[in-house]
Amino acid sequence: MKLVTAIIRPFKLDDVREALIAVGAKGITVTEAKGFGQEQVRAESHRSEEYHRIFHPKMRIEVIVRADQVEAVVEAIADAARTAKVGDGKIIVTDADLIVRIRTGERDEHSV
């Protein structure tokens, strides 16, 4: 089992969700996040006060999949989230050594 974590732009969330459903992902977890990478620090103004935006709003998506689903899930996320501009995000794939469904006690592939 693998944990696929994606950091994407907020307005791409619905596109990514639909793409994940299309490739058979059974569930996702979404968290609001802030971060920065290669994006430039932007000067913005609010009520005539200038401030610098260092952290940019992002969405963190987590989905647990079987190892044979990883490539399809990664491609679905990348294709749906891509704008071809700096700040599109990242996809990280890690091993999920143990997964337990709290309600039933099912483990690993049976818990997904």
Model confidence over 28-70: pLDDT tens digits?
999 999 988 876 666 666 666 766 667 889 999 999 999 999 9
pLDDT at position 111? 74
Residue 36's Cβ-side half-sphere holds a number of Cα atoms within 13 Å equal to 8
Sequential DSSP letters for the chain: -EEEEEEE-GGGHHHHHHHHHHTT----EEEEEEE-SSSPPEEEEETTEEEEE-SEEEEEEEEEE-GGGHHHHHHHHHHHH--SSTT--EEEEEE----B-TTT--BGGGG-
pLDDT at position 16? 98
* Fold of domain 2-111: Alpha-Beta Plaits (3.30.70)
pLDDT at position 41? 64
pLDDT at position 51? 65
Work out the mean pLDDT of the chain and round it to a whole number. 89
pLDDT at position 20? 97
